[in-house]
Chain A
Amino acid sequence: MSDIRCRNLCKTFHQGGETITALDQVSLDIGEGAFVCLSGPSGSGKTTLLNALGGLDTPDSGTIAIGEQRLEHLSRRQRADLRLHHIGFVFQAYNLITVLSARENVEFIMQVQGVPAKEREKLATGVLAEVGLAGLEERRPAELSGGQQQRVAVARAIATRPALVLADEPTANLDSRSAARLMDLFVTLNRERGVTFVISTHDARVMGYARRLIGMRDGRIVSDQEQQPHAMAI
């Protein structure tokens, strides 16, 4: 269900009496299992597009379909359910719940999904091991490095077995080594689980991992090209 079709997306913001065009007639198709990077300078509309794709923000006009679901036809509750069961989010600032341990952060979202307690614990431990955090399950975010926190965030995002992961500048706060490990993890998940990745970044090294690179500027798509990943850049 993870193929994405956007048509003529427009979104403007008003700030201090000024109108900012964040998305300007954006049309885009992303196939299932794709590994896409949205690139461009700050203010180019990458995050706005990601938010719109995830149903976090509503475009002023245009349509978005994820699989068979037209986002504009979904209620707030239905969009939340879509995110809960089919879309994983990874944010620049990790956004973990500080009072919960790594395992509890991952378990929490599974609990919301309705996964039974015993299964939850097993799955959470497994997914944390998968992202390389075995043995650190009971640590709270403050006791983990930035890279480790971002891995917990990834574990949280993929624990629900989403078909689509939207990642907004996931490496922005990471050192090169942690960033490389994170991107390797994304590539593995994409390759082995078929998870679709849409990553916004302005880091050229991250772009090297993508099989499709979409360039944005002033709310418009200015380039869209397939490429051979060259991950060695990081």
Chain B
Amino acid sequence: MNVTWILAWRNLWRHRRRTWLTVGAMVFSNILLVFLVSLQLGSYQMMIDGSLAAFPGHIQIQHRGYLQDQHIYQSVPAAVELAARVRAMPGTEAVAARAEAFALASSAERSFGILLTGVQPGFEPAVSTFPGKVRMGRYLEEGDSEAIVIGSVLARNLKVGIGDELTFIGSGRDGSFAAGVATVVGIFDTGLEDVDRSMAQVPLAWFQQLFAMGEAGHSVVIRVPGLEQVQATAGALRALPGVAQGELVVLDWNALVPGLRQAITSDMTSAWFTYSVLVVLVAFSVLNTQLMSVLERTREFGVMLALGMSPGRLARLVGMETLLLAALGLGLGVAGGGLLSGYLNHAGFVYPGVEEMMERFMLGGRIYPEVSLVSLLVGPLAVFIGALLAALYPALRLFRLQPVAAMRAV
């Protein structure tokens, strides 16, 4: 066996306590980093899933320019037919057509501006969590016509309940006056006041009739099994007629909810700054240990130089010791962090104080850290590299060592 590796390993254990303290610091940091990164990635996944499942979906097909300027006439022709066609494509999980318009909703006593959405009652529950948020009454059903579900705040403001009638007026696609009366069949409560105050849904067929939409809608909403399939599915959708000709566009969730990506990027940046501080602290701990170790062995290094070892070989020996030390911290830290995160990934946990944020992103009450190669290795590898870099200074000191002077060291 290689004697230098044996020497490096045994040198680590000359001062067991000191070595274990340093390894302990690395293990603790690595467990913390694995857990925090897993938590972070898990939270992002939940944020994305929660936000996209709430309403926008993973992908939408819209009229070019509709996202920026939501005019009723910027519509998707034959939206229901297109949705059916997309539903038959591989890679899609759920597809539903929608149409939207701003309207003035009135009860007997009051009026409020709302965003009225026409949905396919049979398909909407598969692309959106909205239907599951109905707390009173029921969600829209196939065959419903003059029915509406409204938010809880809007119901309170309009002073209406299940079975009451609402009148709404707006502008049709052709500029005509659009007006209708619908019976409230359900009241949803998302927990988001803005949404619960201003949103309402009616059956798409009735919406198309009221707003002179013909067969058109404003979006075809698509869910895919996972985020990693978004790009491939979006690519396939771009080959559809209408999209390929430029009239329609395929928008992925980054384009639909740009704030989500920005929030994640911003959170990630600040988190990595904190992690960097942790890595630097561990690196200083390793620097301290290795520097002490080198200073204590000045005489031994002097003897090695006298015997003909080059300073470079001595530096390599210190590097090997640090490598073993860091590998020990890496192995134990990844194992510990992996076990902890793996358990919480299975069991989930409640993160006190962030309920509001979780509600904002339509998340459930429990957080599930995401264990992946990235979450397991990114932090510990940063600590590993930091430790190796920290050993540079003690190792480079050896190049200044003179054999005779070193051998005189006590």
Contacts and interface: CB of A to CB of B under 8 A. Distances in A.
Interface string A64-83: 00000000000011001111
Given A57-B404, A112-B313, A117-B1, A156 B7 contact: no
B346 to A, nearest CB: 44
Interface residues of A, number: 30
Given A51-B404, A57-B404, A99-B10, A108 B4 contact: yes
Interface residues of B, number: 25
Contact of B3 (A56, A82, A104): A104
B310 A77 contact: yes
B306 A89 contact: yes
B310 to A, nearest CB: 5
Contact of B4 (A91, A111, A113): A111
Contact of A89 (B4, B300, B307): B307
B196 to A, nearest CB: 71
Q: Classify the secondary structure of B's interface with A.
A: helix
Contact of B404 (A56, A84, A156): A56
Q: Classify the secondary structure of A's interface with B.
A: helix
Contact of A111 (B3, B11, B299, B305): B3
Interface string B305-317: 1111111010000
Nearest to A86: B308
B6 A109 contact: no
A99 B309 contact: no
A224 B330 CA distance: 62
Given A97-B300, A117-B1, A109 B10 contact: no
Given A80-B309, A89-B307, A100 B404 contact: no
Contacts of A56: 305-306, 403-404
Interface string B59-101: 0000000000000000000000000000000000000000000
Contacts of A85: 308
A97 B302 CA distance: 12
B270 interface: no
B308 A81 contact: yes
B391 to A, nearest CB: 19
Interface string B266-302: 0000000000000000000000000000000001100
A107 B404 contact: no
B110 interface: no
Interface in A10-68: 51, 54, 56-57
Contacts, number: 68
A223 interface: no
Contacts of B162: none
A76 B402 CA distance: 10
B303 interface: yes
B404 A99 contact: no
Contacts of B311: 76
Of A56, A87, A91, A111, most buried by chain B (CB within 10 Å of CB) is A56
B407 interface: yes
Nearest to A99: B10
A83 B6 contact: no
Nearest to A51: B404
Interface in B1-22: 1-4, 6-7, 10-11, 13-14
Contacts of A54: 306
Contact of A112 (B10, B303, B309, B407): B309
A97 B307 contact: no
Contacts of B306: 54, 56, 83, 89, 91
Given A56-B404, A117-B1, A83 B308 contact: yes
Nearest to A79: B308
A104 B6 contact: yes
A95 B308 contact: no
A156 to B, nearest CB: 7
B3 A99 contact: no
A79 to B, nearest CB: 9
A117 B403 contact: no
Contacts of A97: 7, 300
B15 to A, nearest CB: 11
Given A95-B300, A104-B6, A120-B3, 7 more contacts: A56-B403, A80-B310, A91-B306, A91-B407, A100-B10, A108-B4, A108-B7
Interface of B: 1-4, 6-7, 10-11, 13-14, 299-300, 303, 305-311, 313, 402-404, 407
17 contacts: A56-B403, A80-B308, A81-B310, A83-B306, A83-B307, A84-B307, A85-B308, A89-B306, A89-B307, A91-B306, A100-B10, A108-B7, A109-B307, A117-B2, A120-B3, A156-B307, A160-B308
Please provide the 3 A-B residue pairs with the shortest distance between their CB atoms, ordered closest to farther.
Answer: A84-B308, A99-B10, A83-B308
